[in-house]
Amino acid sequence: MKTKYTKMQSNGNDFLVAEDYDIVAKTKELSDRKINIGFDQLLYFQNGNMPKLRVYNADGSEADNCINGLRCIAFLYGLKNTYIQIKDKKFLVNTTTNGATVRANIPIVGKIHNWFVIEFGNNHIAKFCEDIDEFDLKAEYLRAKNYKPFNKIKDFNLSIFKICGDIIKIRTYENGTGETLSCGSATISVAYALSNELNLKKFKFSSRGGVTKVYISNDSIISDASAEVVEEGFLDG
């Protein structure tokens, strides 16, 4: 029996979209870019009165949040003013001509030394980095994951950023996946962390995969970026 799949991407952060839960068990195998389809995360979507999304990292672990994944689902299904639930959190999505916006509740931000620590469904740590292009992100992630003070924070993503005029450059190493070309929850997390320090409500982020715009209001935060279908096909059951 063959099962249909759709591969999508938002700013280079790519996904396998599936409505068949049996595919979830094959996440690690299918995510291998050398011998299989290859992707950062698998999206298992259940459309209904309250649409639900479950997100699985390339290593098979389940993620707690995924803004770019929500964006891709919204674009694929043409969703307007629709809430999608990931675990116990709900996000409002709206399809645009070339992608989708995702509206979320405000993150919780703290600081440890020169690092921002953000809780946004999933956990993030982030710091300024002057040498952002050459920085060894994987090595920094492994250090943070294994040593104090961050080794007690569950399944965090690590980001570095640099303010370049009106654009903020960002790179993110995602738990369970590795460095991705873009991370939607990281851009929201860093935007809100910087909003009070810079007295700004609008941000433009540039990752290695593309541009994301973030807008902050009193009680919510909106992420706006592109999304597209990369390929469609069938998997053997």
- The per-residue pLDDT for range 131-157, each reduced to its tens digit, is 999 999 999 999 999 999 999 999 999
Domain with CATH 3.10.310.10 in the chain: 2-104+225-236, 106-223
Q: Which residues contact 130 (CB under 8 A, 6 or more apart)?
A: 162
Cα distances (angstroms) measured from residue 74 to each of 34, 167, 203: 29, 26, 22
Q: Residue 91 pLDDT > 80, yes or no?
A: yes
Under a CB-based contact definition with an 8 Å cutoff, are residues 126 and 105 in contact?
no
Q: What is the reported pLDDT for 224?
A: 99
Domain covering 2-104+225-236 assigned CATH 3.30.230.70 in the classification: no
At 63-73, the pLDDT tens digits run: 999 999 999 99
The DSSP-derived string for 170-194 is EEEEETTTEEES--HHHHHHHHHHH
First to last CA, the chain: 5
One-letter amino acid of 35: I
Mean predicted confidence (pLDDT) in 207-222: 97
Q: What is the reported pLDDT for 236?
A: 79
The alpha carbon dihedral of 76, 90, 88, 38 has a sign of: positive
Tokens standing for 126? 């982030």
In this prediction, residue 237 has a pLDDT band, given cuts at 50, 70 and 90, of low
* Distance from C-alpha of 94 to C-alpha of 148, rounded to nearest angstrom: 40
Q: Residue 1 pLDDT > 80, yes or no?
A: no
At 154-202, the pLDDT tens digits run: 999 999 999 999 999 999 999 999 999 999 999 999 999 999 899 999 9
Mean predicted confidence (pLDDT) in 27-43: 97
Q: Average model confidence (pLDDT) for the chain?
A: 97
Fold of 106-223: Diaminopimelate Epimerase; Chain A, domain 1 (3.10.310)
Q: What is the reported pLDDT for 127?
A: 98
Mean predicted confidence (pLDDT) in 97-117: 97
Percent of the chain scoring above 90 in pLDDT: 95
List, in sequence order, the alpha helices (H) in the chain. 27-30, 67-77, 137-146, 184-198
Which of 186, 192, 191, 154 has the alpha carbon at shortest distance from 172?
Answer: 186
Mean predicted confidence (pLDDT) in 209-237: 95
